[in-house]
Structure 1
Amino acid sequence: MAPPLANDKWLAGRHFGIVIDAGSSGSRLQIYSWPDPKNEKYNKLADRPPRVEKGTKDDESWVYKVEPGISTLGSDPSAAGAYLKPLVQHAMDRIPPSLHSSTPIFLLATAGMRLLTPEDQAAVLSHSCQFLRSYTRFKIDAPSETLGPCGSSVRIITGEEEGLFGWIAVNYLMDGFTRNKGKGKEKADDESRYPRTTYGFLDMGGASTQIAFEPNVAEDDVKGNGLVDVRLRLLSGEDIHRKVFVTTWLGYGTNQARERYVGQTIQDFQASRTHDLSTTDAGIIPDPCLPRGLELTETPAQSSTAGPHATTSHKLVGTGSFEECVRKSAPLLNKDKPCLDAPCLMDGIHVPPIDFSASHFIGVSEYWYSSEHIFGLGGAYDFSQYERAAVEFCGRDWEGIVKQHEDSSKRNRLGGDGEVVKDGKVVELGVWGPQVEIPRLQMQCFKAAWILNVLHEGIGMPRITDPAEKKLSTGDQVVEQAGKKGLGKPPIFQSLDSVDDVAISWTLGKMVLEASKEVTPLLKGAKPLAPVPSWLLEVRARKTGCHWGPSGRG
């Protein structure tokens, strides 16, 4: 495919950026673009950050993915070039050659690469860097003794960074960074011009879960050195600062939580049967977190205490009790773990107090999948609806679920339709689309229970059961912006995968930061400070009070 022509009006003054999201299962290249900030400085968008968009005119070719994950090159790092070539070639074919040298490219690896040894990590990153430098003319950072041969352009990011980039993406899409046009004293250069209208961000993956949010003012004053100072520049040249708390829980994603659950379930079952291990059904364990009648043979990958059955396969048979599943999986939150830096949430991790009367959260990834793909309840979260759908699904017979899946596949319906209600009663649990596979159906009961436990027991979100009771106060601007996005009055929590047909992705947050750097500061003659490398976002760096963003280090 040929790049856009030079006389293409869409291309005029357009800047590009590339992010390769090198995840554990595959690598996804995403091309972003934005109009030249200088051309937009005096238009109606001057009071918001640069307008970051898809990097191609069509809806498909801005993304390109290869499998498996780049971490599989740990045993053969020299294969990095062959692995990356189709990805970067895709970008080279779609971005005009004259703009390659000014287009930054980032290869940012996540969970899979974090599991490799330091030596294998360095080898894969080094060969990847060498290939990008030799095969492309894209903009790449200079070598750094700390970050490696490609600086911050090719590296492994932390879970905290994923959370912060996601927070930026959500609030960018929800117009949370748009400046308030104040009058009189509000025109003073202070935070009164930038009201707190931001959304908290929750991300649930298979291995870990993240939270990022803007605590209240009092918490900023008390523990400001535990926050990240995010700096963005509006098209007008003015800077906005947001103090954001972000942390991650490794092992608290749905897949690893399930592994811990299986290990604990087997251990508890065997401990209860120590008086009689000779019975023929010693390896059969009832599991409330599986639909009724589903049988799975599982070997615990994780176990809190080594024992004779820690690595033995056992047959788990579903009993389909969602309430019991919620109860049995709740201890996995480790809420009894000592808190060394109060206040703490699950696993003894410090998190500032969350004022749910003013804070509203958006959840992505598993929060969306577990709500929408089976239940059809993505979007505004209602505890009663979600619990009822989970109880109904979990209590169903597995053979009936499989039959419905086969029927849905034959009809090739797109997307889950959720509950079908007639005369106030649920008459069908919906029709599942092709994205719903058998493994999802097997684990849906556990994942739904885990989501409930994390939201309400882990994070402390209140269970609002009646929409008429949703009388919590909220800022007028939050209401207004949510209404513009078709979301109505913002609930405490909603699961989303996109806003205005733009996918919510941490890669978008990274590009918003990059585009923000290109805006000329409002103060004439001012020289922007050197950008702070985001490796400072490691957990230990958050405690130092480092400032991170396009304006540099404070």
Structure 2
Amino acid sequence: MTLRYAQVVPALVLLLLGLIGILLLALSTSVIEKPPEYEYGIVLDAGSSHTSMYIYKWPSNKQNGTGIVTQHDECNVKGKGISGYAGVPGGAAKSLEECLQKAVQSIPKARHHKTPLYLGATAGMRLLEIVNTSESHRVLKEVGAKLKTYPFNFKGSTILSGQEEGAYGWVTVNYLLENFAKYGFVGRWLNPGKGTIGALDLGGASTQITFQTEVQTESPDTSMTLKLYGENYQLYTHSFLCYGQDQFLRKLLALLITTQGVSSGKVLHPCYPNGYVTSVNLEADVFSPCTEQYKPKNIDLKKDVTLQGTGNNQQCLSTVQKVFSFDKCNFSKCSFDGVYQPATSGKFMAFSAFYFSKSYVSALTNISDPRLMKMASQRVCNMSISQMTTITKQPEKYMKNVCAVSNFIHVLLTQGYGFNNSTLPMISFEKKAGGASVGWSLGYMLSLTSHLPQESVSVLKAIPSGPWTGLLILFSALLLMALVQLVLLCRKSKSKMDVI
């Protein structure tokens, strides 16, 4: 009896091991799911002059709560910005269709329903909100309804504040340059960060300046705190509405027209190339919410006015300076128009229209040193429109404004923001960094990923197919051995009983 028990126990142990092993392997295939390699997010940057779509991706695991985001794809929407479709029902929504279809094809189908989709509108819609609130709401509602028809997780369409636009642009710049401490390991930073740099953004309707500062703010509406990768960043940030490139050019035209009058139907434009002639409509091309201060009384807005370029750099510069106000400041230090700003310090990146203007000027003059911007502007202003288009291979509609915009940037950076010959070389003019377009949308995505739910992943890891097959064979062999041993023991026991 004792011998029989000692023989049965090992067989039962093998049987139990085989059954448990096979059961665990079965559970590993049905319960444990391998997490997706990437998650995706879409941001539509609805600017004043056009809309761009950016698709971002990041690993499903995060560092300190913020996604490690890279640019996956992008698409420029054809036509004007969504604010330009005020009074045109269906126009703004329809303009987005081609790029949204590209997103459907670019993002893996299995990830569509989990991909967040955001639309952020900037200064163009901020202006429309001021002029016609109901139309602004209609455009946003229309666009939102269109975005909901796509297989993504639509999170909403909103108008960003100027502060948000500036701050998110700053985040983008510093993220792409790897200035943030990102990767933690056993309580220590593998990448402790390099120190942040400032961001200068120039859009169509507004311009932003943002930089990290330890100076106590004198104006709360120019201060913002962001938390990224477990660190707090205190920022100075301000957005100047109506000082974007397009609205500045309107203000310049309005100032010239108001100063010279329109009785003759012709206005001399010192910033246009000498001999260049074009015409503008006062209502469509000149006067806007940003130019109300220059609007003459009893003027016929339906009137067309002829503009004749004189290519006079000094007159151009002095007229551009009049667009700014430097004589009013209720703080210890101001930039312009009475806005508080502490002294700038450290490096800056200038992007968007800053980059394109600088690239045109460099191509026309072979001058790239920011300290020589005034000289470069003078050379550009002395060139004919044919010289400019021949050198750059760009159309007249862009080249006619290079003199004005280069002088504008010079005044904005030096007299406005306070850069000088010592600090101007600290500004780099860039279109991309780290393979991604520079703007506010990536910073926006980075901040939003801090709040996106991370997909749940089991603590156990799925067993690769090779080892899984080997274990299945092993446990099956144990089970078979146990069954064979038990059958033999039963037969042996039966034969003994027969003999008795």
Normalising by structure 1, report the TM-score: 0.65
Select the structure with the greater relative contact order (CA < 8 A; seq sep ≥ 6): 2
* 1:354 aligns to 2:343 (yes or no): yes
User: What is the DSSP-based 3-state SS (H/G/I as helix, E as strand, rest coil) of the residue aligned with 1:55?
Assistant: strand
Which residue of the partner structure matches residue 232 of structure 1? 228
5+ long unaligned stretches in structure 2: 1-34, 455-500
User: What is the DSSP-based 3-state SS (H/G/I as helix, E as strand, rest coil) of the residue aligned with 2:172?
Assistant: helix
1:94 paired residue among 90, 95, 106: 106
Contact 1:286 1:316 in 2 (8 A): yes
User: What is the DSSP-based 3-state SS (H/G/I as helix, E as strand, rest coil) of the residue aligned with 2:294?
Assistant: coil
Distance 2:212 2:184 in 1: 21
Kindly state the Cα deviation for residue 304 of structure 1 after the two structures are TM-superposed. Answer: 2.4
Distance 2:400 2:453 in 1: 49
Contact 1:100 1:138 in 2 (8 A): yes
Which residue of the partner structure matches residue 3 of structure 1? none
Instruction: Report matched runs for 1:142-221 at 5 Å.
Output: 153-178=156-181, 197-215=195-213, 217-219=214-216
More helix by share: 2
Residues 284, 127 of structure 1: alpha-carbon distance in 2 compared, 3 angstrom cutoff: closer
* 1:132 aligns to 2:132 (yes or no): no
2:116 paired residue among 99, 104, 124: 104
Contact 1:379 1:495 in 2 (8 A): no
Kindly state the Cα deviation for residue 195 of structure 1 after the two structures are TM-superposed. Answer: 7.2
Distance 1:307 1:378 in 2: 41
Contact 1:285 1:314 in 2 (8 A): yes
Contact 2:364 2:392 in 1 (8 A): no
Distance 1:379 1:180 in 2: 41
Kindly state the Cα deviation for residue 126 of structure 1 after the two structures are TM-superposed. Answer: 2.7
Distance 2:305 2:85 in 1: 33
Contact 2:47 2:121 in 1 (8 A): yes
Normalising by structure 2, report the TM-score: 0.71
5+ long unaligned stretches in structure 1: 1-10, 57-61, 142-152, 234-238, 272-276, 409-430, 465-471, 473-489, 521-554
Distance 2:332 2:53 in 1: 40
Residues 306, 109 of structure 1: alpha-carbon distance in 2 compared, 3 angstrom cutoff: same
Residues 387, 71 of structure 1: alpha-carbon distance in 2 compared, 3 angstrom cutoff: closer
Instruction: Report matched runs for 1:258-269 at 5 Å.
Output: 258-269=249-260
Residues 179, 380 of structure 1: alpha-carbon distance in 2 compared, 3 angstrom cutoff: farther
Q: Residues 5-54 of structure 1: CA distance to partner in whole angstroms, max 9, x if unpaired?
A: xxxxxx9511100011223344322211112225xx6xxxx9x9643222
Q: Residues 408-429 of structure 1: CA distance to partner in whole angstroms, max 9, x if unpaired?
A: 4xxxxxxxxxxxxxxxxxxxxx
Q: Residues 455-486 of structure 1: CA distance to partner in whole angstroms, max 9, x if unpaired?
A: 1111111134xxxxxxx7xxxxxxxxxxxxxx
Distance 1:119 1:14 in 2: 40
Distance 1:383 1:225 in 2: 30
Instruction: Report matched runs for 1:466-505 at 5 Å.
Output: 491-505=425-439
User: What is the DSSP-based 3-state SS (H/G/I as helix, E as strand, rest coil) of the residue aligned with 2:166?
Assistant: helix
Q: Residues 97-136 of structure 1: CA distance to partner in whole angstroms, max 9, x if unpaired?
A: 2212221110222233331522223233333333433x23
Mean alpha-carbon deviation: is it higher for 381-390 or for 159-168? 381-390
Which residue of the partner structure matches residue 293 of structure 1? 275
Kindly state the Cα deviation for residue 512 of structure 1 after the two structures are TM-superposed. Answer: 1.8
Contact 1:33 1:52 in 2 (8 A): yes
Q: Residues 340-390 of structure 1: CA distance to partner in whole angstroms, max 9, x if unpaired?
A: 455322111222x1243xx22211122111110242399996244333332
Residues 194, 326 of structure 1: alpha-carbon distance in 2 compared, 3 angstrom cutoff: farther
Distance 2:242 2:163 in 1: 14
2:386 paired residue among 402, 412, 424: 402
Distance 2:437 2:223 in 1: 27
Q: Which amino acid aligns with 2:354?
A: Y
1:29 paired residue among 53, 59, 62: 53
Contact 1:288 1:318 in 2 (8 A): yes
Q: Which amino acid aligns with 1:363?
A: A
User: What is the DSSP-based 3-state SS (H/G/I as helix, E as strand, rest coil) of the residue aligned with 2:233?
Assistant: strand
* 1:119 aligns to 2:134 (yes or no): yes
Distance 1:138 1:119 in 2: 27
Residues 460, 89 of structure 1: alpha-carbon distance in 2 compared, 3 angstrom cutoff: same
Which residue of the partner structure matches residue 552 of structure 1? none
Instruction: Report matched runs for 1:313-392 at 5 Å.
Output: 314-336=305-327, 338-351=328-341, 353-356=342-345, 359-376=346-363, 382-392=369-379
2:41 paired residue among 10, 13, 17: 17
Kindly state the Cα deviation for residue 331 of structure 1 after the two structures are TM-superposed. Answer: 1.9
Distance 1:66 1:211 in 2: 28
Contact 1:160 1:248 in 2 (8 A): yes
Kindly state the Cα deviation for residue 166 of structure 1 after the two structures are TM-superposed. Answer: 0.9
Kindly state the Cα deviation for residue 81 of structure 1 after the two structures are TM-superposed. Answer: 5.6
Kindly state the Cα deviation for residue 453 of structure 1 after the two structures are TM-superposed. Answer: 0.5
Distance 2:124 2:221 in 1: 30
Contact 1:456 1:462 in 2 (8 A): yes
1:252 paired residue among 243, 251, 262: 243
Kindly state the Cα deviation for residue 492 of structure 1 after the two structures are TM-superposed. Answer: 2.0
Kindly state the Cα deviation for residue 158 of structure 1 after the two structures are TM-superposed. Answer: 2.2
Kindly state the Cα deviation for residue 515 of structure 1 after the two structures are TM-superposed. Answer: 3.3
Distance 2:366 2:109 in 1: 41
Residues 249, 98 of structure 1: alpha-carbon distance in 2 compared, 3 angstrom cutoff: same
Which residue of the partner structure matches residue 543 of structure 1? none
Which residue of the partner structure matches residue 392 of structure 2? 432
Residues 69, 257 of structure 1: alpha-carbon distance in 2 compared, 3 angstrom cutoff: closer
Distance 1:437 1:154 in 2: 34
CA RMSD of aligned residues (A): 3.6
Work out which of the two has the higher radius of gyration on C-alpha atoms and give 1 or 2: 2
Residues 251, 24 of structure 1: alpha-carbon distance in 2 compared, 3 angstrom cutoff: closer
Mean alpha-carbon deviation: is it higher for 508-517 or for 450-459? 508-517
Contact 1:379 1:496 in 2 (8 A): no
Kindly state the Cα deviation for residue 198 of structure 1 after the two structures are TM-superposed. Answer: 1.1
Kindly state the Cα deviation for residue 324 of structure 1 after the two structures are TM-superposed. Answer: 3.1
